[in-house]
Structure formats: structure tokens, C-alpha cells
Homo-oligomer: A and B are copies of this chain.
């Protein structure tokens, strides 16, 4: 029997439903890292975990809770998708370092140190000045390393990201962003940032969110795959994966919550604008979990080897999950 070719997406925040869970199966998705908190505090995040527990009870044939890489194997064997939890902000741990281990016990496997703004731990990518990792940030990175909660710097400033990659004793991730050189969006990452993360064994997940794509919603599959191939040449294909940032079926009120939370009384358009405040339309070649085959085909056609393509489509995240989620020691 040939080895399984994994399909893993390292970031989604869909408006979850049976329809979307079935589309994961149609698309052959073995595992997804889902966001369960943007600005939620500890208790609110626990309520989101409870909602997922109800979905696991309700759809036991489609999804299964993921805690370890072995849960992906189990999902593959039983024809389901393993769901791994993460936070896009450290708000769930509030000001309490003890909540890092508590949240890992509850299944959290990725935590961004910031979401656009300054946090207690680091500086977000929308702040004017990035003062780097804070005193508490250094302590929390050490604790995350100890328990097996992966540092994710997708929405962090450059200096904070480079420092996190150096301070962390275990590889870190940028789960969803693209190279700034391809499309100079604020959220895309410059060479020195990607280098710092991948040099230390970390991962970059390519985003399909239109604001991160050259030509936005009109970005072609060829342009996207060509960018992936160039990134593989520069940093090594083994450090790359997909982190689609798919926010399928979400109402525009959700992107407003992501951007505004409770930190301002004004509207902040983030990557959008007053003229275009909502979720942008996805490219026509990536609208749901059924479309991962398009990316795989595009990567092969751009000249990447089948080994490189398999790694980027899921094998690299599988290895990263296997190493990253276990407690240290």
C-alpha cells in the first residue's frame, strides 16, 4: 500500500456547518487548524470549545478532535477530518501564564502572540512601532515551548516575529501569509522574517485570502503556484504548507469582529477599506475545501516535484504537528 498523501490546511475560520464538514470530506482534507478565538477571553474561548464538542458529538462520521499527529492517522483510517484548535490572539490566556498549560490540555495547538495590535506579549503588524517581545512574552514563549503550544506570528510585526523565532527553543510558524516580495500587503512577510522563521525549522503556510494575493480576487492559480515555487527555491519546500485563511460563509459582521473586537469604538477596516469593508470574494479556483485539488494540480504544473508537492499539500504540516504539539523533555 502506498504511503498516504496528506492534505492539511493550517488555517480556516469558516462558518461551520454540516455542509462545510462534508466539503472537507469531498476535498479529501485530513486535518485543519481552525481558529477558535480572535478577541475572546478565557471563559468565552471555553464556550467556543464547548460548541466544537457539540459538533464532534453531532457529526462523528465527518470530524474528530485533533490533539496529536496520530489523530490525523486515525482520521485518515476512519475517513474523517481531524480538527486542531488555535487562537489568533493571546486573549484566551488573559494575563495568566498558567492558562497556557490549561489551554493545551483543552486542545489548543497554535497561539498567535498578537492580532494586528500590541498585546501583552508582542507587537502586532498594524502598530507603528514594534518594540519586540515583552517581558511576559519571553515567559509565555518558554511555557508554550514546554507544553507544546506552537508560536504563530501571522499577524505580528517584523521585529517581534524575528525575535520570537530566535527566543523560541522550538520551531515557530506563520500559519497564513505570503511573501511580501510577491504582493506587498502589510500582512505579507518580508524576506528577513521568512528567513528567521524557516532557518529555525519553522513553517510558512500560504494564504488564499484575497488581500494576501497579487491581483486580489482576480489572482490566477498560475501566479499563486509560481509564487509557491519561487518561495520553495529560496527557503526550501520542506518549510512550506497551506494555511488558506478560508472564512467560508461568514457574514461581514465577523470580519468586523476580527478587526475591531472590543478594543475600539471606531471602525477599523484592517486590510479592507471604507469602499470595500466586507470579506473579499475568493478566487474562482479556491472557493471551498473541495478545491485543494486545483492547488495540487497547479503546483505540479509549475514544475515542483511530486515529493515537494506532497510536502506542501500536507506532509510538511504533518511532520511539524508531530514534533510541535508534544510536551518538551
A residues sitting closer than 8 Å to B (CB atoms) are: 42-43, 46-47, 49-50, 53-54, 96, 98-99, 101-102, 105-107
Contact = CB atoms under 8 A, between A and B. Distances in A.
Contact of A106 (B42, B47, B53, B106): B106
Contact of A102 (B50, B96, B99): B50
Contacts of A49: 102
A221 B117 CA distance: 65
A63 to B, nearest CB: 16
- Each complex incorporates copies of this chain amounting to 2
B101 A50 contact: yes
A217 to B, nearest CB: 38
Provide the main secondary structure of the chain A interface: helix
A98 B54 contact: yes
A47 B98 contact: yes
Given A42-B43, A43-B42, A50 B99 contact: yes
Contacts of A42: 43, 46
Contacts of A50: 96, 98-99, 101-102
6 contacts: A50-B96, A50-B102, A53-B98, A53-B101, A105-B106, A105-B107
